[in-house]
Amino acid sequence: MKPGQGKSRIFVVCLLAFAAPSVSFAAETAAEKATAATAAADGATRWYDCKDLVVEGKGWTNTRAFYDRLPAKAEGVVTPSVWGLSHHSAGMCVPFSTDAPSIQVRWTLINDRLSMPHMPATGVSGVDLYSKDPSGRWQFVANGRPAAATNTARFTPPAGQPCLLYLPLYNGVTSVEIGVARQYTLAGADAARTGRKPIVFYGTSITHGGCASRPGMAFPAIVGRRLNTPVINLGFSGSGRMEPAMADLLAELDPSVYVLDCLWNMTPDLVSTRIEPFVKTLRAARPDTPILLAEDCSVRNVCPTEKGRILRAIHEKLTAEGVKNLHFLASEGMLGDDTEGTVDGCHPNDLGMMRQAEVFTSALSAIAGSK
């Protein structure tokens, strides 16, 4: 093997491993339709369409499909890969509370590729439920495991406690409903939560959620729970390359912080030419919003990487030029030093996601404290 050939192969594998599923489900089967009709007809369950509740993680309302992550106008403007991946519901969650002792969740997927060779169906196409305990800590309740186009799962969250229902990472949904027995009630997010500005994460397959075992274990979701802050996940597998069109779209948002974590998908040349104008576009639109530039990391702890050195130089240059509130996050600690943090040498497993979340939470807490 020639020098550098191994790294090239890993890079290509990391890009190909997350090709967007393209096969759509057919219409619901007769049995599924009958089940849905029975649930509606028997009157025992009241189903709440999550479109009528608050759905966190949606940056735009003018989307082609409700659970898309980019606005309809982005089609033909962003790359075809980004547009296709924008139909995934990564990072979206539904905050709610209920006095019911048990609930049902029913969700319909857009793609029939429920899992990937290195990522289970629970992460690709499943849903995750968390509840907040009296101390204010978010606790995992259970996950909904997909087996078909339309799935129903039953959960028993602590009655009366705030809940978060996370949607699939590497699949999209056409419908998500929460069902409770008719004698109980369900309410959406309270005003205190909906009033917080979100953190916007823009990145690659890792930000997208690969390869978390379930949606709540993607590192942006973990960060959101730890900081009790809504998150918008704009991770696009193999496609986080900081095109000018993406800068223009992100500039339309009004987050508490922009996190730019794209080095994994960029060549040194792209890092050299695209990051500075990307930052300047955001800064022109949002003069006071903090921007965090994240360095890439290596499972072998080669720090900094070549691209990391370029990013550090750009950060220093822009800071010297007077760009305010621009922060740099080094890669140390992202995956740990025991080589156990990934599934394939580049995509984090749950352990790696937890480690990344620790690093990002610390950095974002410091930024919030300095504002």
Pick the range with the lowest mean pLDDT from 98-112, 115-129, 299-313.
299-313
Residue 174: which pLDDT band, with cuts at 50, 70 and 90?
very high
Q: By percentage, how much of the chain surpasses pLDDT 90?
A: 80
Using the predicted structure, report yes or no on whether residue 12 has a pLDDT greater than 80: no
Q: Alpha-carbon distance 159 to 183, whole Å?
A: 14
Residues 6+ apart with CB under 8 A from 293: 260, 275, 279, 311, 314, 315, 326, 327, 328, 329
Which tens digit of pLDDT belongs to each residue from 257-303?
999 999 999 999 999 999 999 999 999 999 999 999 999 976 666 67
Q: What is the pLDDT of residue 132?
A: 96
Residue 101: which pLDDT band, with cuts at 50, 70 and 90?
very high
Mean pLDDT for the chain overall: 89
Residue 24: which pLDDT band, with cuts at 50, 70 and 90?
very low
Residue 371: which pLDDT band, with cuts at 50, 70 and 90?
low
Using the predicted structure, report yes or no on whether residue 80 has a pLDDT greater than 50: yes
Residue 26: which pLDDT band, with cuts at 50, 70 and 90?
very low
Residue 18: which pLDDT band, with cuts at 50, 70 and 90?
low
pTM above 0.85, yes or no: yes
Q: What is the pLDDT of residue 36?
A: 38
Pick the range with the lowest mean pLDDT from 54-63, 80-89, 236-245, 292-301.
292-301
Using the predicted structure, report yes or no on whether residue 366 has a pLDDT greater than 90: yes
Using the predicted structure, report yes or no on whether residue 1 has a pLDDT greater than 80: no
Q: Alpha-carbon distance 351 to 342, whole Å?
A: 8
Scanning the chain, the segments in alpha helix (DSSP H) are 5-16, 30-41, 80-85, 121-124, 191-194, 205-208, 219-227, 244-251, 268-285, 306-320, 350-370
Complete domains list, the chain, with CATH: 41-56+93-190 (2.60.120.260), 196-370 (3.40.50.1110)
Task: Report the Cα 23 to chain-centroid distance in Å.
Answer: 22
Q: What is the pLDDT of residue 222?
A: 99
